[in-house]
């Protein structure tokens, strides 16, 4: 008996020892990684560069934007659309009120813009409505097609379109769409403040004709600046505007004028649609669509089992290398996303009283040569290849290739060249005075740059560390703000408040449909987080949205010039552009992932059941 208890005691002690040892060893591993990281990183980087690009590195050029049809579409069939999202959709199914992107995916099937747009997001005359512009470019006359009807058979009228404006401009409106392009309408301010019952600048000429007069002629009006969504007035008329967004007409049984009708909505989870035979572009080939929310963690399995045909709304591209071989039943479509990641330099602060940016010439990052050297010091193609398998790549300008006619591909942006970075810093007076391998500023004082970066995914931390090491390699001491990454809300709270502890930060912009950069880099833009301003910048931004710029060539010239200016002044520098991938089951025909595509009536399937992997 005594012996047994002794052996038990021994066992317990052994177990404890194992635990202690395990804890120690994992700790020391971590340390080793932290210390040796920089050496390993650069070595591997060069290896991979030489090793050839076929080894797990992809290029956006290899992805088609449109689905390659694998046969004739059958008559009918139901498409399963997977909305990739880690949470439910909010279910505010009305263009006037929705906020989140998932809801937009749900709405696109049953309601659409009256105006269609081209690849540069500029309105064309191919939509449900056509328009004419007056001589002074301030008045637009819209004519809605005669065959455009709501799902309940009522025609879509000019009155319905006006109604959208009356909702959004109303003092009781609960959404977030009331912006500068609304305020630019004649009489809108009076209506919004409640002084007028009608909007004087919008006139219903007849059942199908609407005229809108603007105070100023802005070219950006024609690039997504017009609210082109009608609201079925006969449905919503009796609902107070403040209660609309919670009404069943928005959440449970919404109607629209799009190719499919909503049949049923399971809140947050799924929506079923049936074909709208009366659709103005012709009856859809499909009998219906079933939309379900799929989480990014399980989307690959859902594609493999044929549960969903299309994974829309943001397939996690980092999973692509793992599944490219096994998902033989799926074609991956790729387009250049209208987004870029960037490093921003804090150059001033936001003056809330005058609502404008105040640039501080004495800011720590105020020296443009320092900023240029920092751009030269980082190898963004390596970041794209090593962390994103080539599905992100070096960015050059702030108007990306997603806007083909405005993108300035001739801009000479600084590229990876540490020697050049060193030369610039030497010339600008950033010398290593005390011989510790770290440069001091031109006054000989210690220079420590604080870098704020967001957490998110497995790559956020290694990427931030890579940049810090790359800057260290040219003798600049950059430290992570508080020594760690920051959560999204906390990050933007501090960047927005111009926290003096932040000198540089890494963030990303998803740019809207309008190429006009005033919302992100204008002097009056709260989103101008770098707080950069200059006379030249003001001039070009104003010029780009002036009446002369209704001439598209002129507008392109202005914005190309602006892109040059951004490369000269470097208030921020773009790091990578990104690809957006959409996997589509082989049985789907007529689909395209292009950002300006909206031809759901053309989509069909070649067989009743989804194609499964071989």
Q: Which residues bind another protein (CB under 8 A)?
A: 87-88, 90-92, 97, 99-100, 174-180, 224, 245-246, 251, 263-264, 266-272, 290-295, 297-298, 301-302, 304-305, 307, 487-490, 492-494, 509-514, 519-520, 526-527
Block residue for tokens 């931004």: 541
87/125 with CB nearer another protein: 87
Q: Least distance in Å: CB of 150 to another protein? A: 22
Q: Least distance in Å: CB of 388 to another protein? A: 22
Q: Least distance in Å: CB of 458 to another protein? A: 17
Interacting residues of 36 by C-beta distance below 8 A, sequence separation 6+: none
Q: Least distance in Å: CB of 490 to another protein? A: 4
63/227 with CB nearer another protein: 227
Q: Give the torsion sign (CA, 298, 594, 609, 262).
A: positive
The two beta strands, 477-480 and 448-452, are parallel
Block residue for tokens 């193609």: 381
**HSE toward the beta carbon, residue 174, CA cutoff 13 A:** 12
Interacting residues of 516 by C-beta distance below 8 A, sequence separation 6+: 219, 220, 223, 541, 544, 545
The two beta strands, 572-585 and 330-345, are antiparallel
Interacting residues of 537 by C-beta distance below 8 A, sequence separation 6+: 521, 523, 562, 565, 569
Q: Least distance in Å: CB of 468 to another protein? A: 24
Give the count of beta carbons closer than 10 Å to the beta carbon of residue 409. 10
Q: Least distance in Å: CB of 246 to another protein? A: 5
Give the count of beta carbons closer than 10 Å to the beta carbon of residue 311. 25
Distance (Å, rounded) from C-alpha 67 to C-alpha 312?
Answer: 14
C-alpha distances (whole Å) from 454 to each of 223, 392, 414, 484 are 31, 18, 25, 9
Q: Least distance in Å: CB of 87 to another protein? A: 5
Distance (Å, rounded) from C-alpha 99 to C-alpha 94?
Answer: 10
Q: Least distance in Å: CB of 118 to another protein? A: 18
Which residue stretches of 479-595 are H helix? 488-496, 518-521, 535-544, 552-569
Q: Least distance in Å: CB of 245 to another protein? A: 5
182/393 with CB nearer another protein: 182
Which tokens belong to 141?
């006359």
């Amino acid at each position: 008996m005594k012996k047994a208890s002794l052996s038990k005691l021994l066992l317990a002690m052994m177990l404890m020892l194992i635990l202690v040892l395990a804890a120690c060893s994992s700790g020391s591993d971590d340390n080793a990684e932290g210390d040796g990281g920089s050496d390993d990183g650069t070595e591997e980087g060069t290896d991979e560069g030489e090793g050839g690009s076929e080894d797990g590195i992809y290029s956006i050029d290899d992805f088609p934007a449109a689905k390659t049809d694998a046969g004739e579409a059958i008559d009918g069939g139901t498409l399963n659309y997977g909305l990739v999202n880690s949470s439910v959709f909010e279910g505010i199914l009305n263009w006037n009120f929705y906020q989140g992107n998932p809801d937009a995916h749900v709405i696109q099937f049953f309601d659409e813009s009256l105006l269609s747009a081209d690849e540069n997001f500029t309105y064309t005359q191919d939509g449900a409505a056509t328009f004419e512009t007056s001589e002074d470019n301030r008045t637009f006359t819209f004519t809605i097609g005669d065959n455009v009807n709501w799902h309940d058979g009522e025609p879509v009228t000019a009155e319905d379109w006006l109604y959208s404006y009356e909702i959004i401009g109303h003092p009781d409106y609960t959404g977030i769409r009331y912006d500068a392009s609304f305020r630019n309408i004649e009489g809108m301010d009076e209506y919004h403040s409640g002084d007028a019952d009608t909007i004087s600048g919008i006139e219903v000429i007849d059942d199908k004709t609407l005229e809108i007069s603007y105070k100023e002629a802005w070219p950006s009006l024609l690039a997504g600046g017009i609210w082109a969504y009608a609201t079925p007035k006969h449905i919503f008329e009796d609902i107070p505007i403040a209660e609309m967004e919670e009404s069943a007409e928005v959440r449970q049984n919404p109607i629209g004028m799009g190719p499919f009708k909503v049949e049923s909505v399971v809140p947050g989870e799924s929506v079923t649609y049936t074909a709208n035979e009366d659709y103005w572009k012709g009856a859809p080939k499909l009998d219906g669509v079933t939309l379900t929310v799929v989480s990014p963690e399980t989307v690959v399995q859902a594609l493999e089992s044929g549960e969903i045909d299309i994974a829309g709304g943001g397939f996690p591209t980092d999973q692509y290398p793992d599944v490219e071989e096994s998902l033989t039943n799926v074609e991956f479509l790729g387009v250049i996303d209208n987004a870029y990641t960037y490093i921003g330099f804090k150059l001033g602060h936001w003056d809330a009283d005058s609502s404008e940016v105040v640039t501080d010439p004495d800011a720590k990052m105020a020296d443009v040569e320092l900023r240029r050297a920092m751009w030269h010091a980082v190898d963004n193609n390596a970041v794209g290849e090593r962390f994103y398998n080539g599905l992100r790549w070096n960015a050059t300008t702030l108007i990306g290739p997603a806007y083909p006619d405005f993108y300035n591909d001739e801009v000479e942006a600084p590229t990876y060249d540490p020697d050049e970075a060193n030369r610039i810093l030497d010339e600008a007076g950033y010398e290593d005075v005390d011989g510790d391998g770290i440069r001091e500023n031109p006054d000989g004082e210690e220079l420590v740059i604080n870098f704020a970066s967001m957490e998110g995914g497995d790559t956020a931390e290694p990427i931030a560390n890579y940049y810090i090491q790359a800057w260290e390699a040219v003798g600049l001491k950059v430290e992570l703000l508080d020594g760690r990454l920051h959560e999204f809300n906390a990050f933007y709270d501090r960047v927005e408040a111009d926290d003096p502890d932040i000198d540089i930060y890494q963030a990303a912009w998803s740019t809207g449909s309008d190429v006009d950069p005033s919302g992100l880099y204008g002097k009056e833009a709260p989103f101008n987080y770098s707080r950069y301003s200059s006379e030249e910048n003001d001039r070009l931004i104003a010029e780009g949205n002036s009446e002369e710029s209704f001439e598209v060539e002129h507008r392109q010239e202005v914005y190309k010039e602006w892109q040059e200016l951004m490369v000269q002044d470097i208030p921020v520098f773009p790091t990578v552009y990104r690809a957006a991938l959409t996997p589509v089951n082989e049985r789907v025909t007529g689909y395209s992932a292009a950002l300006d595509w909206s031809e759901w009536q053309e989509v069909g399937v070649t067989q009743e059941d989804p194609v499964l992997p071989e």
